[in-house]
Chain A
């Protein structure tokens, strides 16, 4: 069923130097946030294309990441003051993806070196950039960790090891769960092939996540024409409230 609706986008790079290249398919290259949107699962599958025989040595491993659009995030820390817990220190994390999922074919640290991780910004910690953290706040590192922890709890960040199935060092597949509370924007799926901890090939493709229909209309109206949106909200609410109470009263009188 899933394969029937699958949109297969095959992309080839015949002239590139890499010996092993990714040929990728996605179950969907767009996610529509509708009124009854309740999360989504994206199936990412593909094959490794090579002109030469499979190289000897450690097997081919695959890492798949899906990242949402990045925005600055203000992280605030509560402290006990005057007997109650209030926000005191805050740190601006320059860029943090609104969604970030990593799936790997083996334990993360076994299949990629930290140098390669740093270069390609693959792990969750590397995907967040916080160079602007003010030095006046003690424990600025805790704030970046808090972003990861909070978003992991909300299901927005995840790393799932051993969830990419690799067959014969050639075929691979995995699925990425996207929660209901998605931010819209251009998402990016990246696939890394690694051997012996080094990235031997990579491939990326966009996934479009956007509100559609009524959701999109209301959101845009509220941002672009706030006065009209506000008046419309009042009119709709009054009509709904008055209508419901009149209907109920008539129902009881009969």
Chain B
């Protein structure tokens, strides 16, 4: 069943979109990640213009994070104060990201920027995860050894503007969380991702937050930042395709529920090796596109409202 997307102005198969949404949903349920960093490149591959893919994906992330954050509120695992501090940085970052995005769009380099960002981040995160989870696998085979102790960085505590975060049990400067939020905001606007895959490790290792509030707090920040990004893209680029978003979403939500069930039955270390391999495959495909000579050297961009 072909469906014509009103904003992307392309006709795609609705079942393909359901399938993509479902597949990414299963993966995100299995691995507990948002899935935006997989969905956006997949949308490029099926021919959705990158600008539409990024903006629409931001819209989809708002929705898919919403039910997640509700569950965390019920369990009281959201550090609201920390969430707001991260949010301040995130909104600034998103605005900055959209400005950069629109500037490069006018230069015709936005596809390059988006793809480069993906190659760099997927490459770095994928490699780190791969090494880390391989080590973890090896450790779990040698039973009885203790996990390495988390190091607290001294300089984080030397910064000014300290604030007390009761839920997290922290007394730290607001500068690091604002910077983390800012960074994630920029990524959200440029890459169409929630940024959980950067924020969660940063909150644990950099800010030293307790693991149980990390996911809820990051989801809280992600909802508002991606909602803001959606609005910015909708009002400046007109690239949010609601039909595309809803189709992906329905598949995604159902997939996520199935994925959670599968994920609970698989050992965590092996899951993470799989996820790392998947991230590296997507990264490799995008990198090849940039490195190999394209079949068509020319590309068309339209000016003036179209």
Partner-B contacts on A (CB < 8 A) = 33-39, 71-80, 83-87, 90, 92, 142-143, 146-147, 149-151, 153, 180-181, 183, 211, 214-216, 218-219, 222-223, 226-227, 229-234, 236-238, 240-242, 244-246, 248-249, 252
**Residues 1-35 of B at the A interface (beta carbon under 8 Å):** 1-4, 6-7, 9-11
Q: How far is the CA of A34 from the CA of B1 in the complex (A)?
A: 13
Counting chain A CB atoms within 10 Å of each CB, the highest count among B6, B10, B240, B253 belongs to B6
Cβ B297 vs Cβ A215 within 8 A: no
Given A74-B300, A75-B298, A240-B249, the answer on whether A35 and B60 have CB atoms closer than 8 Å is no
Chain B, 62-106, contact with A by CB distance < 8 Å: what is the 0/1 string?
A: 111011001000000000000000000000000000000000000
- Distance in Å: Cβ of B289 to nearest Cβ of chain A: 8
Q: Which of B139-147, B155-163, B228-236 contacts A (4 or more CB under 8 A)?
A: B228-236
Interface size bracket, B side: 35 or more
Could you tell me the distance between the alpha carbons of A213 and B252 in the complex, rounded to whole angstroms?
Answer: 27
CB-based contact B304/A237 at 8 Å = no
Least Cβ–Cβ distance between B287 and chain A, in angstroms: 9
Report A-chain residues with C-beta under 8 Å of the C-beta of B60: 237, 241
A33 to B5, CA, bound (A): 10
Would A181 and B293 count as touching, CB distance under 8 A?
no
The reply to whether A146 and B59 contact each other, CB–CB distance below 8 Å, is: no
Q: Which residues of A contact B306 (CB under 8 A)?
A: 71, 183
Q: Could you list 19 A-B pairs, sorted by A, with CB under 8 Å?
A: A35-B4, A35-B243, A39-B11, A71-B304, A72-B303, A78-B294, A83-B291, A85-B297, A92-B303, A146-B298, A226-B238, A230-B240, A232-B242, A233-B230, A234-B62, A237-B245, A241-B252, A242-B67, A248-B254
Closest to B107 in A: A87
Cβ B112 vs Cβ A87 within 8 A: yes
Expressed in whole angstroms, the minimum distance between the Cβ of A148 and any Cβ of chain B is: 10
The 10 closest A-B pairs by CB, nearest first: A230-B234, A241-B63, A180-B11, A146-B298, A237-B63, A244-B253, A38-B2, A226-B235, A245-B67, A74-B301
- Alpha-carbon separation in the docked complex, A227 to B232 (Å): 9
Q: Is B227 positioned at the interface, with any CB of A under 8 Å from its CB?
A: yes
Residues of A within 8 A of B111 (CB): 87
Most chain-B CB neighbours within 10 Å: which of A71, A180, A181, A241?
A241
How far does the Cβ of B55 sit from chain A's closest Cβ, in whole Å? 9
Q: Let me know if B277 is at the binding interface, CB within 8 A.
A: no
- Which of these, B62, B296, B297, B302, contacts A237 with CB under 8 Å? B62
Q: Are A218 and B243 in contact (CB under 8 A)?
A: yes
With CB as the reference atom, state the residue of chain B lying closest to A72. Answer: B303
Whether A86 touches B249, Cβ cut-off 8 Å, given contacts A147-B300, A181-B9, A237-B59, is: no
Cβ of B245 and Cβ of A245 under 8 Å apart? no
C-alpha spacing A197/B195, complex, angstroms: 64
User: Which chain B residues lie closer than 8 Å to A223 at the CB level?
Assistant: 238
- Judge if B211 is at the interface, Cβ distance under 8 Å: no
- Inter-chain CA distance A89–B230, complex, in Å, is 31
> Which of B2, B242, B253 makes the CB contact (< 8 A) with A218?
B242
Given A229-B234, A237-B249, A244-B250, the answer on whether A71 and B302 have CB atoms closer than 8 Å is yes
B11–A150 contact, CB under 8 A? no
Q: How far is the CA of A215 from the CA of B5 in the complex (A)?
A: 8
A75 and B234 within 8 A (CB): no
**Given known contacts A35-B3, A85-B290, A245-B253, is B298 in contact with A76 (CB within 8 Å)?**
yes
